[in-house]
Structure 1
Amino acid sequence: MAGGIIMREAHFPGRAPIDAYGNGGFRFAEMSHRGSILCVPSGIHGWEPADAAALAEADFARVIEEAAGIEILLVGTGRELKPLPNAVREAVRAAGVATEPMSTGAAVRTYNVLLAEDRAVAAALVAVS
Structure 2
Amino acid sequence: MKLQPDKSDVQTITAQGPGWIRVQADRIDHSALIGSRGQRIAWPCTRFEDLGPEHFAQLVELGSEVVIFGSGLRLRFPQPAWLRPLIARRIGLETMDTAAACRTYNILAQEGRDVIAALLLETEA
TM over 0.5: yes
| Alignment RMSD (CA, Å) | 1.8
1:16 to 11, 16, 23: 11
- Pick the structure with greater CA Rg: 1
**Does 2:52 correspond to 1:56?**
yes
TM-score scaled by structure 2? 0.81
Residue 30 of structure 1 corresponds to which residue in structure 2?
25
Aligned to 2:11, the other structure's residue is in SS state coil
TM-score by length of structure 1 reads: 0.79
Count of aligned residue pairs for this structure pair: 114
Displacement of 1:42 in angstroms is: 5.5
Kindly state the Cα deviation for residue 22 of structure 1 after the two structures are TM-superposed: 1.7
How many angstroms apart in 1 are the aligned matches of 2:46 and 2:103?
20
Matched, 1:120 2:114: yes
| Residue segments in structure 2 that go unaligned for 5+ positions in a row | 1-9
How much identity, in percent, do the aligned residues show? Answer: 30
- In structure 1, runs of 5+ residues without a counterpart are 1-14
Instruction: Map 1:103-114; keep pairs closer than 5 Å.
Output: 103-114=97-108
